[in-house]
Amino acid sequence: MSGPAVPIERLRAALARLVHERPFLLSIRYAVDRAELRFWDEAEDVDDVAALALRLWGDHRDSAGLPSWGVVGLEVLDRVTMQRRGTDRALSPLVAAGVAPL
């Protein structure tokens, strides 16, 4: 996600609310003008996952107080590829997301 810069405190609070509303987020990295979200979903195919990912920010924009940013990139991975990339760190999709600055 990317868009006009917003105060970092406001963004962090909005992202914390998003984590509460969407518990399957794995991680969020952010700066004043962008955010990168990772989440796990067991949808049947890539079309379903991509559609969900493209809607996620907009679906929670008002309730979480997220900025009016747009999608600037999307990557969908199967479980094996995701696990292969993360062999050096534990993956646990059932815990609260880590939220960290970029």
The answer to whether the beta carbons of residues 19 and 46 sit under 8 Å apart is no
Report the predicted TM-score, pTM, of the whole model to 2 decimal places.
0.78
Contact 49, 76 (CB under 8 A): yes
Confidence of residue 92 (pLDDT cuts 50, 70, 90): very low
CB 83 within 8 Å of CB 91: yes
How far, in Å, are 1, 28, 51, 59 from residue 14 at the CA level? 14, 12, 22, 13
Write out pLDDT tens, residues 26-73: 889 999 999 999 888 888 889 999 999 999 999 999 999 999 999 999
